[in-house]
Amino acid sequence: MLDLFSQIENPERDEIILLRRQLEEANYQYYVLNAPTMLDYDFDQKLRRLQDLEARHPDMFDPKSPTQHVGSDLHEEKAEKGQQKTKKGFEQVAHRYPMLSLSNTYSREEVEEWMSKLPQGAEVVCELKYDGLSISLWYEHGQLTKALTRGDGVKGDNVLQNIQTIARIPKLIVQDNMPEYVEMRGEVLLPWQAFERLNKEREQDEEPLFANPRNAASGTLKLQDSSEVARRGLDIYLYYMLGDNLPEQTHYDRLQIAKQWGFPISDAVKVCKTVEEVMAYIHYWDIERKNLPVATDGIVLKVNNLALQEELGYTAKSPRWAIAYKFPAEKQLTRLNAITYQVGRTGVVTPVANLEAIQLSGTTVQRATLHNEDFIRQLDIREGDMVWVEKGGEIIPKIIGKEDNSTLPNPTSYYAFPSHCPECGTQLVRIDGEAAWRCPNEATCPPQIKGKIEHYVSRKAMNIEGLGSETIDLLYSQGLLHNIADIYALSQSDIAQQERLGEKSAQNILASIEQSKQIPWARVLFALGIRMVGETTAKKIARRFPSIDQLQWASIEQLTAIEDVGEQIANNIIAYFNDMHNLEIIYRLRQANVQMESTEEEATPQSNVLQGKSIVISGVFAHHSRDEYKAMIEAHGGKNVGSVSKKTSFILAGDNMGPEKRKKAQDLGVEILNEDDFLALIQAL
């Protein structure tokens, strides 16, 4: 009988081990790599199953089980693709109070059940569940001293310098009733607008796209370059106060006090006394959240009375006095009619799902990215399958799975990624460690050629006006453009004779091409389109190597010594200069008098009058553009920063300066200079 019993029990014990392994891997992908591979719902279902199995097998208790701790986001010498790994990483600090996660529920019946277990008459505070990165802000004597990520719940990474780039976070609070120590818990977010801009930039540079704003916020907060963090535009909402000798005895009242102190607290917080009020709140925000500028994925319910919170206590990883209701993602079932392939400017081949049209979140969806071969094989997707399409965060359509046994009569028997480029027929290659297949034919593959030209003429690169994608496509089809050097061989008749153009357009385009010859070396380097060499990285490389000749012969050791240049970027630079086709293009650009080295004025700072100063630019200017002012600041030894803080030296303000920045500057006593004052300052040598 004992042997029979063991045989019955073994499958469940094996399942415990399997579930633990799956959940730990999902936690790692979600918290550390910011690239989730498992849906939240699936994760929670597996976690519940594991809890049930562990309860039936207490002898298999393990304090390291995912049921006993929160997922960890502790920094372990990792960085976004293309970013150099830090030698030091972030300081890890122990939380004064454990930073736990909330239990999730996906049904209103479970919300009612949770509320039914509370003491009669207990008030519940309803709040929006923001989809971002948890943060804990420490204030000592009113001064912001630490900013810790959740980490493993016991200790977290101190990202104080990056947090200080968020304008809405008060750095110093002067209040008579401010306790000696206050800890504010909250959620760091990347607004939709900033998220879309960031992903568009990454798409242009053919870097992996962030799956959602939460992953983008997490990746941003762990960057080593605070100026890049500031540029991306993080935001924050705070939702809980901790500490000793705190005012008020309810959670809601403490949030109102925090709002008076200047903390960013949501206006959507509401005290509910009945289940009906809670359900009305959920129903309202399930619709209205789609109009918010930031991502939300549910509602958080907290017991209002703080003494009752203490009485209810905690489980190993969650408070019993709070619960999160997750909104169901809007999804539709539709047919995958065909898989087509797009080739980007660096040769990456991206599979695209062409779908039978459906309505999701008020828009028509007919296409969705399939990311790469591994993604398709993981979901076992084939043409003709009925697939589930979800709008990630109500914005980006994505395929999340397929309906079993729901294919066309003769579906593709298996999925085979093309072996050759769909545009030029060149055999594709896959670099070790990368998920993407790539066409190596940079010289003659049409979408790569046109993509490189579009990048070269873009505003942040050579800023050649009039050469949009349609015009480039037209000139390419006429055999007038084969690479970026051909731009400087265009004649007025070449352009004027094209459809929809003419003499005036030709004159304007040629004038802009001529002006591009004055673009400084750092922007030329960015315009060349070397893989992973973005705008900021190009500036840092150009400062170290003030001419293309010096850069061409740089060693991998010299390159990786530059901030933000890792081994992969260095290898891309070396490979670029080992390609004879690229060297021919560089020769022709030289012949056209494109700037291939820094001028003496650029290489040598014009002055040190702004040395050590951090300067914010805001508003619209009359004498120079914002980019020109940024260049002036750097030329005179200053540093451009994106947000106002106590470390800001002054603000260069034009017309229509942002009201929030002006108020922040006034509160912190930061000086505001107009254009004339600034120009007088840098000219007073």
- Alpha carbon 211 to its chain centroid, in Å, reads 8
Give Dmax (Cα) for the chain: 96
Residue burial 512-551, b: 16+ Cβ < 10 Å; e: rest? bbeebeebbbbbbbbbbbbbbbbbbbbbbbbbebbebeeb
Closest among 429, 423, 492 to 451, alpha carbons compared: 423
Give the per-residue pLDDT at 401: 84
CB 334 within 8 A of CB 360: no
Which residue out of 129, 302, 391, 664 is catalytically annotated? 129
Q: What angle do CA 209, 332, 42 make, to 5 degrees?
A: 65
Give the per-residue pLDDT at 369: 82
What is the rounded average pLDDT of the residues 31-52? 69
Residue 78 has pLDDT above 70, yes or no: no
| Predicted confidence (pLDDT) per residue in 633-664, tens digit | 877 878 887 778 888 999 998 877 777 778 88
Residue burial 628-638, b: 16+ Cβ < 10 Å; e: rest? ebbbbbbbbbb
Superfamily for 605-683?
A: BRCT domain (3.40.50.10190)
Domain 446-601 falls in which CATH fold? DNA polymerase; domain 1 (1.10.150)
pTM over 0.75, yes/no? no
- Alpha carbon 95 to its chain centroid, in Å, reads 26
Integer Cα distance of 343 and 423 in angstroms: 7
Residue 10 has pLDDT above 80, yes or no: no
Give the per-residue pLDDT at 207: 66
Q: Which residues contact 130 (CB under 8 A, 6 or more apart)?
A: 187, 189, 237, 294, 295, 296
Residue 202 has pLDDT above 90, yes or no: no
What's the one-letter identity of residue 35?
A
Integer Cα distance of 452 and 53 in angstroms: 55
Give the per-residue pLDDT at 77: 41
CB 48 within 8 A of CB 318: no
Q: Give 381: exposed, middle or buried? Use CB within 10 Å, 0-12, 13-18, 19+.
A: buried
CB 127 within 8 A of CB 239: yes
Q: Which residues contact 615 (CB under 8 A, 6 or more apart)?
A: 633, 638, 639, 640, 641, 648, 649, 650, 651, 652
**Between the CA atoms of 375, 381, 387 and 392, what dihedral angle is there, to the nearest 10 degrees?**
10
What is the rounded average pLDDT of the residues 50-63? 80
Q: Which residues contact 557 (CB under 8 A, 6 or more apart)?
A: none
Give the per-residue pLDDT at 600: 62
Give the per-residue pLDDT at 414: 60
What is the rounded average pLDDT of the residues 68-77? 56
Tokens of 435: 């998920």
Tokens of 56: 């039936």
| Predicted confidence (pLDDT) per residue in 568-606, tens digit | 899 999 999 999 999 999 999 999 999 999 876 555 566
Residue 551 has pLDDT above 70, yes or no: yes
Tokens of 649: 């030296």
DSSP assignment string, 196-251: HHHHHHHHHTTPPPPSSHHHHHHHHHT-S-HHHHHHHT-EEEEEEEEESS-S-SBH
SS3 labels along 516-572: HCCCCHHHHHHHCCCCCCCHHHHHHHHHHCCEHHHHHCCCHHHHHCCCCCCHHHHHH
Give the per-residue pLDDT at 87: 36
Give the per-residue pLDDT at 409: 52
Domains of the chain: which residue ranges?
2-60, 92-326, 331-434, 446-601, 605-683
Domain 331-434 falls in which CATH fold? OB fold (Dihydrolipoamide Acetyltransferase, E2P) (2.40.50)
Integer Cα distance of 459 and 605 in angstroms: 25
Residue 128 has pLDDT above 90, yes or no: yes
Give the per-residue pLDDT at 644: 83
| Helix or strand run (H / E) with residue 340 | strand 331-343
What's the one-letter identity of residue 265?
I
Superfamily for 92-326?
A: DNA ligase/mRNA capping enzyme (3.30.470.30)
Q: Which residues contact 410 (CB under 8 A, 6 or more apart)?
A: 384
Residue 80 has pLDDT above 50, yes or no: no
Q: Which of 286-290, 530-534, 620-624 has the lowest mean pLDDT?
A: 620-624
User: Chain-wide mean pLDDT for the chain?
Assistant: 84
What is the rounded average pLDDT of the residues 200-215? 74
CB 413 within 8 A of CB 407: no
Q: Which residues contact 87 (CB under 8 A, 6 or more apart)?
A: none
DSSP 91: P
Give the per-residue pLDDT at 7: 40
| Predicted confidence (pLDDT) per residue in 416-470, tens digit | 889 999 999 999 998 777 778 999 998 899 999 999 999 999 988 999 999 988 8
Highest mean pLDDT (candidates 14-28, 276-290, 358-372) = 276-290
Tokens 């941003």 belong to 220
Instruction: Name 652's bridge partners.
Output: 617, 673
Closest among 373, 367, 355 to 396, alpha carbons compared: 367
CB 211 within 8 A of CB 35: yes
| Predicted confidence (pLDDT) per residue in 173-186, tens digit | 888 888 999 999 99
Give the per-residue pLDDT at 278: 95
Residue 629 has pLDDT above 90, yes or no: no
Q: What angle do CA 510, 516, 517 make, to 5 degrees?
A: 105
Integer Cα distance of 15 and 307 in angstroms: 40
DSSP 595: -
Give catalytic status of residue 129 as yes or no: yes
**Between the CA atoms of 490, 495, 496 and 501, what dihedral angle is there, to the nearest 10 degrees?**
-150
Q: Give the right CATH number for 2-60 from 1.10.287.610, 3.40.50.10170, 1.10.240.10, 3.90.1300.10.
A: 1.10.287.610
**Between the CA atoms of 213, 214, 216 and 218, what dihedral angle is there, to the nearest 10 degrees?**
160
CB 268 within 8 A of CB 128: yes
| Predicted confidence (pLDDT) per residue in 130-174, tens digit | 989 999 999 999 999 999 998 888 889 999 989 998 989 998 988
What is the rounded average pLDDT of the residues 392-406? 68
| Helix or strand run (H / E) with residue 615 | strand 614-618
Residue 378 has pLDDT above 90, yes or no: no
Residue 317 has pLDDT above 50, yes or no: yes
